Amino acid sequence: MNKQTGNEYYVRLSNFERFILSKYGSSMNIDSFVKGLKDGKFDIYETLSDYCVYLQESNVHTSTLKQRVVTAKNFLFIDRVQNIDFVTDSINKIVVQLSNTFN
């Protein structure tokens, strides 16, 4: 991964963490949120949906919104929460719906 790509990924995940902090309070960082997902304390679909609303209210451009949601989804599913039993197609459907809504 080139340095600029790594920096962009970091910025996107930092934005997702700011959302988590605003939604769940200052004691909740991205790592404790992932642990909560694994423990079944949070709903992945609701979280991604709420993140979309958060980004819309922040007036980010639609392409930026899509990129940030996809980054969060990939991080949660591929990198950290692979053992949660949920249907990947449903998450992909959310992203496709977002894409169609904002195009």
Asked if pLDDT for residue 1 goes beyond 80, the answer is: no
CA distance 26 to 20: 9
- Dig out the tokens for 63 from the structure: 């392409």
Nearest to 68 by CA among 43, 99, 41: 99
- Taking residues 78-82, what's their average pLDDT? 54
- Dig out the tokens for 19 from the structure: 């959302």
87: left (phi over 0), alpha (psi -120 to 50) or beta: beta
- Taking residues 1-12, what's their average pLDDT? 84
Asked if pLDDT for residue 25 goes beyond 50, the answer is: yes
Lowest mean pLDDT among 40-49, 68-77, 85-94: 85-94
Asked if pLDDT for residue 85 goes beyond 50, the answer is: no
Nearest to 42 by CA among 86, 102, 6, 9: 86
Nearest to 19 by CA among 42, 59, 53, 67: 53
- The pTM score is 0.72
CA distance 80 to 77: 6
